[in-house]
Chains A and B, each alone.
Chain A
């Protein structure tokens, strides 16, 4: 069990560019969550998957954001036409079916939009 991993750890991009982040959950964890965290704030829920099904999306997730988990394992979060307001830490967490109560977080991807 290597924990939740995220790639890249840091991403600097220019406004208007598209970016994609990847999250690999803990093996056998069938729930996967994406959060966004800005400086001085707690993480805000974006979306979550149970296996490959995306069960809920926050209103924070505008049309420029899309998330996938095609085979029920790793997940990607894409942001199209990035804006400076998208600069944040993007966190991924996973939960096992045996305990949806507890989340295990990855190290996050820090996005800076110039």
Chain B
């Protein structure tokens, strides 16, 4: 069974810092890896989707990388803003199911 781990569980940074969130998975036979944002009490908003054949995807200040062989993905957030405060979840897609990590709770201080 796929196991997904996210480190750190929580992160607090001052506004303007660049930061990296980590996601690791045990089964490298994934179709893709998806990063989501979740605000308190809300559903999940898709941020980036990386296909298994890709190494990275970029959207605005966000860049996600994927290294299947080592079972790792990172989400890089440039020039963080208070509005980025949320929980960030990664999900590995295996055999028609998506396996989620427990998330990294990010707080960006003004």
Measured CB to CB, the closest approach of chain A to B25, in angstroms, equals: 12
Once A101-B31, A103-B34 are accepted as A-B contacts, the answer to whether A108 and B43 lie under 8 Å apart by CB is: yes
- State the majority secondary structure of interface residues on B: strand
Highest count of chain B CB atoms <10 Å: which of A4, A33, A105: A105
Q: Please count the residue pairs between chain A and chain B whose beta carbons lie under 8 angstroms apart in the complex.
A: 60
Does the CB pair A42–B43 fall under 8 Å? no
The reply to whether the CB of A56 lies closer than 8 angstroms to some CB of chain B is yes
A89 contacts which chain B residues (CB < 8 A)? 41
Question: B44-52, B64-72, B73-81: which lies at the A interface?
Answer: B44-52
Does the CB pair B43–A48 fall under 8 Å? no
The bracket for how many chain A residues form the interface is 20 to 34
Q: Which residue of A lies closest to B90 (CB)?
A: A42
Mask, B24-59, CB within 8 Å of A = 1, is: 000000011010100001111110010100000000
Q: Considering the chains assembled together, what is the distance between the CA atoms of A65 and B46 in angstroms?
A: 28
Q: Considering the chains assembled together, what is the distance between the CA atoms of A44 and B93 in angstroms?
A: 13
A105 contacts which chain B residues (CB < 8 A)? 36, 43-46
Q: Which of B4, B6, B44, B103 contacts A91 (CB 8 A)?
A: B44
Once A102-B49, A103-B34 are accepted as A-B contacts, the answer to whether A91 and B43 lie under 8 Å apart by CB is: yes
Mask, A69-107, CB within 8 Å of B = 1, is: 000000000000000000001010100000011111111
Q: Considering the chains assembled together, what is the distance between the CA atoms of A55 and B97 in angstroms?
A: 11
Known: A40-B102, A45-B98. 18 other contacts (CB 8 A): A42-B6, A42-B89, A42-B102, A43-B91, A43-B98, A44-B100, A45-B99, A56-B96, A89-B41, A101-B51, A101-B93, A103-B34, A103-B91, A105-B43, A105-B46, A108-B42, A108-B43, A110-B41
11 cross-chain CB contacts under 8 A: A42-B6, A56-B97, A89-B41, A91-B44, A93-B44, A101-B31, A101-B32, A101-B93, A105-B44, A106-B43, A108-B42
Which 8 A-B pairs give the minimum distances between C-beta atoms? A42-B100, A105-B44, A107-B43, A105-B43, A101-B32, A108-B43, A43-B100, A42-B102
